[in-house]
Amino acid sequence: MEPIVIKNKLRKISKDFHLKYDPGWFNLMWVSKRHARYLEYMGMCFDPIYTRFGKTEEDRIKNIDKFETSKQFKKIKHEFSGQAITKEEVVKGMKYCQKIKDSDLRKELLDLYKNIKKKLKKNNLALLTQTNNKGQKAVLLNSILFHEWLHLLLIKNRIYFKSISDKYWKYDEGLVTYFEYYSSKRLNYLESIKNKIKYPSQRVYFIYAIKFRGLMKIEKNSQKRKKIIIDLMNSL
């Protein structure tokens, strides 16, 4: 799926859910798999692989050397992935990088954040991991890029549950997953896919996508659909 195809799907979702849409919001940058792991670590990813090294930025900075030499890092350092990042997150990441004691690692990550900042357009960017594997690249440029651009679409529309509290990240992932399956008209498959997923944090995506499907039910009006999401945010 070409980026233009993904943008067309985003435009359709925006129309169906009364969201603002600007094609200029959606850009991408390739980063190494090693750097992707550090960006997830510094970006406070809530996967247990990272949270064991700290649930605050200060703790993660303090334990970053332990993370680099850990079994967890070795296990995931070759994984391909994507993530959405905003200017605010880049600035915050650069601030915390300054506190890294290892001068080489500090410079490496600061240079990374500076390069990302240069690529930012309209304060939004999707990051994909570099790969020579054709299969991985196909997944990255199809489902993963769509997933990350959906995050950016929602953030630009001020629909960001994590901005209320970090603990609400599950709603953000659930809503994005709901939109993915809404777009492909496969909402009825959410339960069957959830039951096949073994990794707990990824199963959460589908648990919350099912919640959003229940909230939307048979609502067809785009403004009312958006109101359902906003009302949920306001109730938390």
Average pLDDT over residues 213-236: 95
Residue 2 confidence (pLDDT) above 90: no
How much of the chain, in percent, has pLDDT values that exceed 90?
A: 85
| Nearest C-alpha neighbor of 204 from the set 164, 235, 161 | 161
pLDDT at 121: 82
Residue 1 confidence (pLDDT) above 70: no
Average pLDDT over residues 193-216: 93
How much of the chain, in percent, has pLDDT values that exceed 70?
A: 100
Helix (H, G, I), strand (E, B) or coil at 121: strand
Q: Is the CB of residue 127 less than 8 Å from the CB of residue 36?
A: yes
| Nearest C-alpha neighbor of 149 from the set 165, 128, 163 | 128
Task: Look over the chain and give the mean of its residue pLDDT values, rounded to a whole number.
Answer: 94
What pLDDT digit, counting tens, does each position of 14-42 carry?
A: 999 999 999 999 999 999 999 999 999 99
Residue 216 confidence (pLDDT) above 90: yes
Residue 111 confidence (pLDDT) above 70: yes
| Nearest C-alpha neighbor of 193 from the set 216, 176, 210 | 210
Highest mean pLDDT among 53-57, 118-122, 156-160: 156-160
pLDDT at 122: 85
Regarding beta strands 28-31 and 124-129, do their DSSP bridges make them parallel or antiparallel, or are they unpaired? parallel
Average pLDDT over residues 162-173: 93
| Nearest C-alpha neighbor of 235 from the set 136, 177, 165 | 165
What pLDDT digit, counting tens, does each position of 44-86 carry?
A: 888 888 999 999 999 999 999 999 899 989 989 899 999 999 9
Q: What are phi and psi of 139, to 5 degrees?
A: -65, -40
Q: What CA–CA distance (Å, rounded) separates 149 from 126?
A: 7
Residue 123 confidence (pLDDT) above 90: no
